Amino acid sequence: MAGPLSPSAQMIQNLLNDLGHPIHVLEFAATTRTAAEAAAVIGCDVAQIAKSILFRTRDSARPVLVVASGSNRVNEAAVARHLAGRIGGERLLKAEADFVRSHAGYAIGGVPPIGHLVPPVTLFDRDLLDFDTVWAAAGTPNSVFPIAPSILLGLTGGQTGPVT
């Protein structure tokens, strides 16, 4: 959909530009809230959707971001084991909507993998590296951007690993 971007999508566009990646954020009339919806709107495989799921550590309430392939179901225990050294061995809990908004700066369904208010510990699904291009949320439930997964990994500052 052509035209000006919504403020949240424009923030991601500006961030991508500022980071030296002139990637175009796309905003659609249809929702891209879920991986299946995004893949249908974009016309790609659901596995090419880089979904951003925010968790929090149980005791210290640190944000933990998992950037996962849209076809993978995230296993919190596996993620916590993989990130044990970075999160002090704490258990992970699904983040509530208020936590997501206050730490990421975006609502669930549009959380981008970059530009969070509170920088999260990030685990990047190694399955995403199988693709030339993946699609990530851009701050709203109907905006996305295409990007090479290796570039996205670098922008997130995350480490790769299993998420299932």
Which backbone phi and psi does 88 adopt, to 5 degrees? 65, 25
Q: Render each residue's pLDDT in the chain as its tens digit; 164 residues.
A: 457 999 999 999 999 999 999 899 999 999 999 999 999 999 999 999 999 999 999 999 999 999 999 999 999 999 999 999 999 999 999 999 999 999 999 999 999 999 999 999 999 999 999 999 999 999 999 999 999 999 999 999 999 998 99
Q: What is the pTM of this model?
A: 0.95
Residue with tokens 């999260």: 120
Task: Give the 3-state DSSP-derived string for 71-99, with helices as H, strands as E and coil as C.
Answer: CCCCCHHHHHHHCCCCCCCCCEEECCHHH
Architecture of domain 7-161: Alpha-Beta Complex (3.90)
What's at 56, amino acid-wise? R
Q: Where are the domains of the chain?
A: 7-161
